[in-house]
Structure 1
Amino acid sequence: MIATLVQIAVSLFAVLALAALARRMSLGGDVRLRDKAEACALAEAAVCGFSPVEVTLDKAGIGALLRDAQDRVMLLKRHGAHFAARLLASHEGLRLDRNFLTISTGERTFGTVTLDLGGEAQAWAGSLRRLGKAR
């Protein structure tokens, strides 16, 4: 009985110590895009040579859409405590619902993201429908 109580106490102490260490190291948390400059820096780091000329941020900072001078479009979305980026190749998996644009890349590991783009949602949805078409 005493051995079981000691084991529970040690386990509880270990869990609390790991939680304190994670907090001190600032692991996890609610990561959000602060501004367009941060989104541009993340895009440039994700794909060499991608220099955004047009950027729109989700109202909550959980993602962004960026377009470069070559008319390539990148989707940034929060993935855990970091951001993941994908270049969009087609408009498949795109759905517009008022101010919300839902984008699915078809990549199971990347998943689907719904961005609140406000008044810019319709313009971006229209421009994304040109993706994958011959120029």
Structure 2
Amino acid sequence: MNWLQFGGSLAAIFALAGVARMLRLGESRIGDAAKAREMAEEMLAGFDAYGAIVGTDGKAALVLGNGTIAVLKRHGAKVAARRLLPPLQLFTAVEGVEVATGERLFGRVLLFGVVESDVRALEAQLTRV
């Protein structure tokens, strides 16, 4: 292999990486509560969101909706959503709170940097509406 071919291949790799970055491909961070509400409404049919908690790492969120709670989590380069009914089954972890979804393949969802009392307060808002 000559150096010109190696340099051309390397330049092509960087060009493709730049295009992917410009198009924001593979970016699935849940940035804030507004973004979490928007994502839940797009992914779940008939879901009207009005409150949310997002983990500080942007990998998971809980969103209040019309009688249900949506749980969002990063799944590879995309975000996946499931609809849960209260009361939520919570597990305290060192990093935050884990929410059990009841699905073996979806698993527990870790809300990094969130405490159980915040989740319970959000859950209580659902019963007030």
- TM-score interval (norm. to shorter): 0.5 to 0.7
Matches within 5 A, 1:76-87: 76-87=72-83
Aligned to 1:103: 99
Q: Which runs of 5+ in 2 are unaligned?
A: 125-129
Give how far 1:28 is off.
3.3
Matches within 5 A, 1:1-135: 4-5=1-2, 6-29=4-27, 31-34=29-32, 36-70=33-67, 72-88=68-84, 94-97=90-93, 100-105=96-101, 106-108=103-105, 110-115=106-111, 116-118=113-115, 119-121=117-119, 123=120
Structure with higher RCO (Cα < 8 A, 6+ apart) = 2
TM-score (norm 2): 0.66
How many residues are paired up? 120
CA offsets 1:56-100 (integer angstroms, 9 cap, x no match): 222333221123332x22101123444221113688974223772
Amino acid at match of 1:37: A
Q: Which runs of 5+ in 1 are unaligned?
A: 128-135
TM-score (norm 1): 0.64
Structure of larger gyration radius = 1
